[in-house]
Amino acid sequence: MNGIMMQYFEWNLPDDGNFWKKLKEDAKHLSEIGVTAVWIPPACKATGTNDVGYGIYDLWDLGEFDQKGSVRTKYGTKQELIDAINELHAHKIGVYFDAVMNHKAGADRTEKFMAREVNPDNREQRTSDPYEIEGWTGFDFPARADKYSDFKWHWYHFTGTDFNQANGKTAVYQILGQNKDWADNVDSEHGNYDYLMYADIDFDHPEVIEEMKRWGAWVAKELNLDGFRLDAIKHINDQYMKHFLDAVRAERGQDFYAVGEYWKPDKASLDEYLAAVQYKTDLFDVPLHFNLFQASEQGKDYDLQNILNDSLVKTHPALSVTFVDNHDSQWGSSLQSQVQSWFKPQAYALILLMNVGYPCIFYGDYYRLGDRESPHRLIIDILLSARKKYAYGEQRDYFDHPRTVGFVRMGDDEHPGSGLALLISNGENGNKVMNVGEHRKGEVWREYTGNVKSEVTIDEQGNGNFLVEGGNVAVWVKKDA
């Protein structure tokens, strides 16, 4: 099946509580364009309704309790979320929940404990002696009144924090105590990248491990979820993540889906992570995203023959979620690396029409960023249509020119008329002779996006001389298919 995920949010959505209702209304359309799963924004109660959801306060509050100034989250109430999920399921669309487990924010009270300051650029380097600080680490959730969970969070459930209420100082504080240290099984950036933000959860603490596994199984069942998008996993003990997924799948079945966000363009780090968690999760193909970003930045100076080099989809095609942009890469985010607009059609053509990877479309590229409508919706719709009708069968690559590359999909018997020839260009007008099979001799092919008006007749050997406009994309299919 040609599955397609959509990341159904971006940073600048309105704080009006209507988003779950909008998602419900959009379910039929999403199904019609071929979307088979949506990754929804973080649905738990955050620091306030103006929080996208990554400033996580209470994992057990899905928009049900009057906490942090409202019952609803930024996106709506728990019942509205359930209604949206039911509607998506009615249209055979899976739902992936954004699980934010690395940290907690918006504590109910401060606590005093021993800590030391560390160098933010090298967390293994201590910059102070141990001393007592007053940190925001007490989470009681009084309005929830122990419904679903009676667990209360204290300083010893965290490894670090970033603010000392006693003197108003902001720093990276390593919390000290029995058996407390930065996690071993995390990314080595900054010496040790256990600490990211807010109060950092200690995934070596047995009480934390059990509470979080219980929550994962509960939320998956409570909302009838089909999978998780795992946030910030390079900051979380990889062995915890493996056991967490085992616990959830014990309740929900082994086909419960997971994709992790390991934001690093270094494929070796992603390979190591996959091995460490015994390949229990997919990963977003961050190296491919950065290839697409560099290609868009460098224009005709980028060698398109290298576009898939060192990407996850090349070495782990069954575990790679391919994407062009997301909320982390969009302009204004802390990790901004947004693919330039001119190259978006080529990038989406690549991920949607090739025979490997699980492509993810970004809400901002399809609908809008803030109040600005996306200029790419039409071309993405065309490419989605091409994927559904034609993108089947063996793939033969023609990555043999620095400014014009392409591939052929040979089609299969299950989809009559399927098969296509893709060309992408980052420079001048281009052409490429590609073989679509001797059995196609005499067929007339047309260009599906409308960018090229001429037609191509397949010769006796099954070759066609396919054209592409400079800096554009061309998708060639059988004319009367």
Note the Cα 305 to chain centre separation in Å.
25
- Active-site residue among 117, 202, 261, 285? 261
Contacts of 359 by beta carbon, 8 Å cutoff, 6+ apart? 4, 5, 321, 322, 323, 351, 352
User: Is there a catalytic annotation at residue 414?
Assistant: no
The two beta strands, 404-409 and 395-398, are antiparallel
Q: Which residue has the tokens 């082994």?
A: 254
As to burial, measured by CB atoms within 10 angstroms (0-12 exposed, 13-18 middle, 19+ buried), residue 268 is exposed
User: Is there a catalytic annotation at residue 231?
Assistant: yes
Side-chain half-sphere exposure of 30, counting CA atoms within 13 A: 33
| Terminal alpha carbon distance of the chain | 20
- Active-site residue among 64, 162, 231, 285? 231
User: What are the DSSP E strand ranges found in 139-209?
Assistant: 158-164, 169-175, 199-201
Helix (H, G, I), strand (E, B) or coil at 459: coil
| 44, 62 contact by CB (below 8 A) | yes
Note the Cα 404 to chain centre separation in Å.
28
Contacts of 312 by beta carbon, 8 Å cutoff, 6+ apart? 267, 270, 283, 285, 286, 287, 288, 319, 320
Backbone φ and ψ for 284, nearest 5 degrees, come out as: -70, 140
* Amino acid at the residue 368: R
The two beta strands, 282-284 and 257-260, are parallel
Tokens of 315: 């070495």
The rounded distance, in Å, linking the Cα atoms of 205 and 209 is: 6
DSSP assignment of 294-343: HHHHHGGGS-GGGTTTT-HHHH-GGGEE-BS--TTTSTTSTT--PPPGGG
The rounded distance, in Å, linking the Cα atoms of 5 and 95 is: 9
The rounded distance, in Å, linking the Cα atoms of 455 and 470 is: 18
| 411, 390 contact by CB (below 8 A) | yes
* Catalytic sites, residue numbers: 231, 261
